[in-house]
């Protein structure tokens, strides 16, 4: 699985948009990009997934440039409850593959 690199931590004020960028230079043609969110004392939760361009759901948006060597998770108007660790990972198509987590980005939302 392609290795990912993310900032270790980020701070943001409530109400701001937060963008977390992940680098995955060695992403393969058949890899998807997936983001998870983990609150303290809970298991990770799947947030969003994409292959290219832009994906949006009720929680976040995922921006993927044409070369797919990076991706950006965008959280609109964060609140204190968005304080969590966010993991970016890549994995192939073709049935389920084991999920390998990188270091993650610890987001602290400040009132």
Partner 1 sequence: SAVISQKPSRDICQRGTSLTIQCQVDSQVTMMFWYRQQPGQSLTLIATANQGSEATYESGFVIDKFPISRPNLTFSTLTVSNMSPEDSSIYLCSVPWGAPTEAFFGQGTRLTVV
Q: Which residues are at the interface with partner 1 (CB under 8 A)? A: 32, 34, 41-46, 49, 87, 89-104
CB of 3 vs partner 1, minimal distance in Å: 12
Q: Which is nearer to partner 1, 56 or 97 (CB)?
A: 97
Q: Which is nearer to partner 1, 16 or 53 (CB)?
A: 53
The CA-based diameter of the chain, rounded to the nearest angstrom, is 43
Distances (CA, A) of 34 to 14, 53, 55, 71: 25, 14, 11, 10
Under 8 Å between Cβ of 100 and 88: no
CB of 79 vs partner 1, minimal distance in Å: 22
CB of 88 vs partner 1, minimal distance in Å: 11
| CA dist., res. 38 & res. 40, Å (int) | 7
């Amino acid at each position: 699985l392609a290795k990912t690199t993310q900032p270790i931590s980020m701070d943001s004020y409530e109400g701001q948009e937060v963008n977390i960028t992940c680098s995955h230079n060695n992403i393969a043609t058949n890899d998807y990009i997936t983001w998870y969110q983990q609150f303290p004392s809970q298991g990770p939760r799947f947030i969003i997934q994409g292959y290219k361009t832009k994906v949006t759901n009720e929680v976040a948006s995922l921006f993927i440039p044409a070369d797919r060597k990076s991706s950006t998770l965008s959280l609109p108007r964060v609140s204190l409850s968005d304080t969590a660790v966010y993991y970016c990972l890549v994995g192939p198509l073709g049935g389920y593959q084991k999920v390998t987590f990188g270091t993650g980005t610890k987001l602290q939302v400040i009132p």
